[in-house]
Amino acid sequence: MLDQKLSVAEPSSPAPPKALISAIKRLMRPLVRLLIAKNIGLPAFIELVKEVYIGVAEDDFPTNGKRQTDSRISLLTGVHRKDVKRLRAMTPEAFSVPKSVGLGPLVVARWLNNANTTDASGQPLALPRQPATPGSASFDGLVESVSKDIRPRALLDEWLRLGVARMDAQERVVLNRSAFIPEKGFEEKAYFLGRNIHDHLASASSNLLNVKPAALDRSVHYTGLTPESAKTVAEAAERLGMQSLLAVNRLALDLAEQDKDKADATRRVNFGLYFFDGASTLNGSAVQGSPEGDSVK
């Protein structure tokens, strides 16, 4: 469980652990590279960081039932009290799920978990738009089995735009990969960046904070490989990783069907070779937009 509240003594400005500072500098490099490439300079980033500091202090460091004051949040975070007051008065921006992400992963999950839409090795079959015979598998039927609120044609057009699917010579719908990985949609890629890196960092941070039980966070790391060897490892990692993800996907989809009407079905999980288990919210704010399906991503 990674969503428990934390309690700390009022700060007395102890020296931060050098190992932690070194790790933070390293993990921030690709983020700063992305920010510079997208013209987000330091002043804009500092404003974002202030907002996040205030939100985390308010949500995760309560005062035993007492109302959080601007002064205490300023003391905890180092953010000036005037900025605390200003930012607390603003409505926080929700972490929104793009519409294509809301339904798309669940359709992919059903596609990969159905004997009628996969081959003997578990790979997704190319699907005709409409059933060839009554009751046979089709793309439209697959989408409608998940939701009747969105027209299958609209979802297909979005998938074609994002590069998630393509049409073959027989006008069948083909998944470009057996996972929901947009090739072109910036909004969708940014969503997965925020969600997946948040969850991995939340799991790793909980281990540094000695939250029990410890979260899964494993990797294999080697140096001194040739480009050819690195390519071989990359291909094996994708193949074996997808096998694990597809197996977990099948299990999670079956359990989600069992749990959908239960009052305590409030958990959200995410598995890479880390595992996140927390409330169905992100950063204290409910995820807005279409309900997000369970899937490989």
Q: What is the mean pLDDT of the chain?
A: 82
Domain boundaries of the chain, sorted by first residue:
1-92, 95-297
CA 247 – CA 228 distance, rounded (Å): 29
Band of pLDDT at residue 238, cut at 50, 70 and 90: confident
For the ranges 65-74, 101-110, 134-143, the lowest mean pLDDT is seen at: 101-110
Q: How confident is the model at residue 296 (pLDDT cuts 50, 70, 90)?
A: very low
Mean pLDDT for the stretch of residues 145-151: 84
Q: Write down the pLDDT at residue 18.
A: 92
Q: Which two tokens stand for residue 2?
A: 């990674």
pTM metric for this prediction = 0.64
Q: How far is CA 123 from CA 41, 93, 120, 140, in A?
A: 44, 39, 7, 19
Neighbours of 287 (CB within 10 A): 19
Give percent above pLDDT 70 in the chain: 83
Query: What is the pLDDT confidence band of residue 20, given thresholds at 50, 70 and 90?
Result: very high
Query: What is the number of residues in the chain?
Result: 297
C-alpha 130 chain-centroid distance? 32
Closest CA to 198 of 75, 20, 31, 8: 31
Cβ(252)–Cβ(176) under 8 Å?
no
Residue 214 has pLDDT above 70, yes or no: yes
Residue 171 has pLDDT above 70, yes or no: yes
Give me the pLDDT at residue 138, please.
93
Contacts of 249 (CB under 8 A, 6+ apart): 109, 112, 113, 294, 295, 296
